[in-house]
Amino acid sequence: MTLLTTVFAAIICTVIWYKNAPKNEMKVGILCWMYWGASLMWLVDAVFEYAELGAEYFTPAPVDMLNDFFLGLSAVALGLVVWLAILLVKDPRGVVRTALFKKN
Amino acid sequence: MACFIVPVAEAVVTTAITKVVKSKETKLEALKVETGKESFETEIKIPFSRKLKWLNNMLWGGSFLLAFEHVWHGEVVPWFPFLTAASDPAEASVMLSETATVGVSMAALVTAVWGVMLLVTKAMEKKALKHSPLQIREGCI
pLDDT digits (tens, 9 = 90+) for B91-102: 888 888 888 999
Task: pLDDT tens for chain A, 104 residues: list them.
Answer: 899 999 999 999 999 999 988 888 889 999 999 999 999 999 999 999 999 999 888 898 999 999 999 999 999 999 999 999 999 999 888 888 888 887 76
In this structure, the number of other CB atoms found within 10 A of the CB of residue B110 comes to 24
CB contact under 8 A, B109 and A2: no
**Interface residue B3 vs chain A (CB under 8 A):** yes
Amino acid at B34: E
DSSP state of B86: G
Closest residue by Cα to residue B73 from A54, A48, A45: A45
Contact B119/B35 with Cβ under 8 angstroms? no
Note the pLDDT tens digit of each residue in B63-95: 999 999 999 998 888 888 888 888 888 888 888
CB contact under 8 A, B58 and A42: no
Nearest C-alpha in A relative to B62: A38
- Nearest-Å Rg of the Cα atoms of chain A is 18
Interface predicted TM-score (ipTM): 0.90
CB contact under 8 A, A48 and B65: no
Domain boundaries, chain B: 5-140
Contact A74/B68 with Cβ under 8 angstroms? yes
Q: Which of B58, B70, B72 to mutate to test the interface with A (most CBs of A within 10 A)?
A: B58
Nearest C-alpha in A relative to B109: A40
Regions of chain B where pLDDT drops below 70 = 27-44, 131-141
For A63-99, the DSSP string reads HHHHHHHHHHHHHHHHHHHHHHHHHHHH-TT-HHHHH
How close A13 comes to chain B (CA, Å)? 14
Among candidates A2, A29, A48 on the partner chain, residue whose Cβ is nearest the Cβ of B102: A48
For chain A, helix (H) and strand (E) counts, in that order, are 4, 0
- pLDDT score, position B115: 96
